[in-house]
């Protein structure tokens, strides 16, 4: 007989996490409640981990290692620190709706975060059953389509749109993002039979936010692919790259940048700038303003670090 055998380790996928607790789906599909072994460990929805079975840590398993992440979608918290949202993604799905009042600057920030992370991205115009309010979305949505984003109309009430979205989600790991109340959890419920993603009645029920989705959750779609429903947010700012890389988050701007007179053009006031020359044409004033706002923030951040 040998001495104490090394505990058996398994690989798994984090489908939800909260503080030091995580729900892990094991290779055989079973769900295991795990705790984090060490203080230095932190997991987020979508992480691949190694875990051991154990009974001493208050869960059925203990996460001992987080496997290297392919990518990480993060946001800047109200305290100014980067906060992970979800890991190992292939696609970002930005959900917008006529109600609550749409914030397309927010949508631009999500799409930029997708571009910087190398994720595919599409836009879902949700609540398309609200016929009379839809017009407010038409111009910005037509613009997203023109610059190459797939734009899908969907509604928890109209099966057609949900089917198109289902097709778009097959075969990858997608994260639903967007303002609180646009219907992300409702779409999740329409796409994943039998789940009960918490639908946000916060705008009507309370101001405390206790009905909002508080952490991200990953679901496996019967039709293929994985879907992460992310928490309702009032605002989203991604960690910003260096000023010269900000344009990479705006595909129609990036496409023109190579033609600017100066290779380090930031598309602000430089002579011979193809981007500012296209303002109001192939680059809308709204998108250019979104870009310039992010550029300014990226510069501010840089100077704070240098100080």
Ligand X SMILES: Nc1nc2c(ncn2[C@@H]2O[C@H](COP(=O)(O)OP(=O)(O)O)[C@@H](O)[C@H]2O)c(=O)[nH]1
**Binding interface with Mg ion (CB under 5 A):** 184-185, 200, 213, 232
Is 112 a binding residue for Zn ion by CB under 5 A? The answer is no
Is 252 one of the binding residues for ligand X (CB under 6 A)?
Answer: no
**Judging by DSSP bridges, how do beta strands 120-126 and 173-177 pair with one another?**
unpaired
Assess 270 for contact with ligand X (CB under 6 A). no
Q: Does residue 174 belong to the site contacting ligand X (CB under 6 A)?
A: no
What are the Cα distances from residue 124, in Å, to 3, 152, 173, 183, 274? Answer: 57, 5, 16, 10, 30
With CB atoms as reference, the residue minimizing the distance to Mg ion is: 185
One symbol per residue from 104 to 143: x for binding ligand X (CB under 6 A), - otherwise; what is it? ----------------------xx-xx-------------
Q: Does 295 bind Zn ion (CB under 5 A)?
A: no
**Position 243 contacts ligand X (CB under 6 A):** no
By CB under 6 A, residue 230 contacts ligand X: no
Tokens of 50: 């190694």
* From 61-69, 74-82, 184-192, 248-256, span contacting ligand X (CB under 6 A): 184-192
- The rounded distance, in Å, linking the Cα atoms of 143 and 249 is 16
What does 32-84 look like in DSSP terms, one character per residue?
Answer: EEEEESSTT----TT-EEEEEE-STTSSSEEEEEEPPPS-EEEEE-TTS-EEE
**CA separation for the pair 297, 44 (Å, rounded):** 26
Only one of the segments 78-86, 149-157, 260-268, 277-285 lies at the binding site for ligand X (rule: CB under 6 A); that segment is 149-157
Q: Which residues bind Zn ion (CB under 5 A)?
A: 260, 265, 267, 273, 275
């Amino acid at each position: 007989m040998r001495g104490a055998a090394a505990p058996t380790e398994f690989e798994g996928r984090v489908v939800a996490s909260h503080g030091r607790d995580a729900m892990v789906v094991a290779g055989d599909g079973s769900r295991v409640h795990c705790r984090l072994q060490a203080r230095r460990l932190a997991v987020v929805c979508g992480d691949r981990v190694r875990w051991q079975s154990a009974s001493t840590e208050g869960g059925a398993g203990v996460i001992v290692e987080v496997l290297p992440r392919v990518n990480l979608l993060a946001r800047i918290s109200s305290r100014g620190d980067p906060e992970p949202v979800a890991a190992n993604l292939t696609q970002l799905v930005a959900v917008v709706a006529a109600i609550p009042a749409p914030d397309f600057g927010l949508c631009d920030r999500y799409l930029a975060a997708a571009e910087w992370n190398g994720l595919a991205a599409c836009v879902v115009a949700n609540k398309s059953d609200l016929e009379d309010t839809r017009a407010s979305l038409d111009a910005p949505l037509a613009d997203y389509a023109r610059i190459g984003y797939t734009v899908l109309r969907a509604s928890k009430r109209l099966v057609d749109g949900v089917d198109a979205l289902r097709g778009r989600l097959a075969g990858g790991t997608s994260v639903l993002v967007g303002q609180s109340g646009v219907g992300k959890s409702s779409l999740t419920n329409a796409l994943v039979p039998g789940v009960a993603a918490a639908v946000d009645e916060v705008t009507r029920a309370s101001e405390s936010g206790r009905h909002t989705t508080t952490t991200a959750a990953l679901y496996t779609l019967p039709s293929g692919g994985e879907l992460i429903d992310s928490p309702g947010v009032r605002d989203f700012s991604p960690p910003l790259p260096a000023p010269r890389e900000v344009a990479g988050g705006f595909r129609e701007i990036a496409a023109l940048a190579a033609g600017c007179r100066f290779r380090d053009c930031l598309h602000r006031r430089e002579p011979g700038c193809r981007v500012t020359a296209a303002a109001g044409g192939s680059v809308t004033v709204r998108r250019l303003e979104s870009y310039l706002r992010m550029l300014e923030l990226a510069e501010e951040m840089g100077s704070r670090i240098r100080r």
